């Protein structure tokens, strides 16, 4: 009976260790690939697993990208910082995200506007006087 209990406890410990040391995206052990710690929430994933996740979110138009654990780990629903994104994305994808973020910010501010000159792309502060 004691041996069975020890085996059960060992299985539980191994399963917990596997969960804590595995990439939640691919399920592989974190030592098998290049792990990266997200600065915002301290969750750890493989770099190669985060890249497609971030790219998909950006392609969907998501600006406030959350940790991949946000739906399963209630205390991890933080919006990732630009530093987290910069550490994973290519320069091209980061620039796309940054432009989307800037566009949303300018579009939602009452005192900001885009230059009316076609193709200009500059934003300016409105003068209400």
Report pLDDT for 5: 64
Report pLDDT for 50: 93
The pLDDT tens digits of the residues spanning 100-119 come to 999 999 999 989 988 889 98
d(CA 42, CA 4): 36
Eight-state DSSP code of residue 7? H
Among 31, 30, 45, smallest CA distance to 84 is for 45
CA dihedral 87, 90, 91, 96 (to 10 degrees): -100
CA 83, distance to chain mean position in Å, is: 10
CB 25 within 8 A of CB 46: yes
Burial level of 30, CB count in 10 A (0-12/13-18/19+)?
middle
Class of domain 2-125 as given by CATH: alpha beta
Alpha helices per DSSP H over 1-129: 2-20, 47-59, 82-86, 91-108
Answer whether 0.85 is exceeded by the pTM: no
- Residue spans of the chain under pLDDT 70: 1-20, 128-129
Report pLDDT for 56: 95
Q: Which two tokens stand for residue 92?
A: 């091209």
Report pLDDT for 23: 86
Report pLDDT for 121: 86
């Amino acid at each position: 009976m004691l041996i069975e209990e020890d085996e059960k406890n060992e299985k539980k410990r191994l399963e917990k260790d596997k969960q804590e040391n595995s990439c939640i995206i691919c399920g592989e052990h974190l030592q098998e690939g290049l792990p990266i710690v997200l600065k915002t929430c301290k969750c750890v994933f493989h770099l190669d697993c985060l890249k497609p996740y971030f790219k998909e979110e950006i392609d969907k138009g998501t600006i406030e990208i959350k940790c991949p654990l946000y739906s399963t780990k209630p205390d991890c629903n933080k919006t990732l910082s630009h530093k987290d994104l910069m550490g994973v994305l290519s320069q091209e994808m980061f620039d796309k995200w940054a432009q989307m973020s800037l566009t949303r910010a300018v579009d939602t501010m009452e005192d900001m506007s885009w230059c009316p000159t076609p193709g200009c792309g500059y934003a300016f502060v409105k003068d209400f006087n």
